């Protein structure tokens, strides 16, 4: 996986969150059609490092939204 691929997927994640608001990781995977956890979490890490995301742990879910 290249940094270009991670950046592209970060854009897909950002767009999904921009449109849908607060989502669980499971919902985010479904909307973005990113199947592999490592691909999704790489994109989330990219956006989190830039300070663009907020997170909240639920009982069984991790929620994410744009900060």
Residues forming a β-bridge with 55: 64
Residue-level pLDDT at 18: 98
Rounded CA separation 47/19 (Å): 16
Provide the whole-model pTM: 0.93
Quick one: tokens of 1? 């996986």
**SS3 call for 34:** coil
Rounded CA separation 58/51 (Å): 21
At residue 1 the predicted structure's pLDDT band, cuts being 50, 70 and 90, is confident
- Average per-residue pLDDT in the chain? 96
6-33 pLDDT per residue, tens = 999 999 999 999 999 999 999 999 999 9
């Amino acid at each position: 996986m290249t940094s270009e691929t991670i950046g592209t997927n970060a854009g897909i994640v950002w767009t999904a969150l921009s449109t849908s608001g607060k989502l669980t990781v499971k919902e985010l995977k479904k909307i973005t059609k990113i199947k592999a956890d490592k691909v999704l979490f790489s994109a989330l890490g990219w956006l989190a490092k830039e300070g663009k995301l907020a997170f909240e742990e639920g009982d069984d879910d991790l929620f994410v939204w744009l900060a």
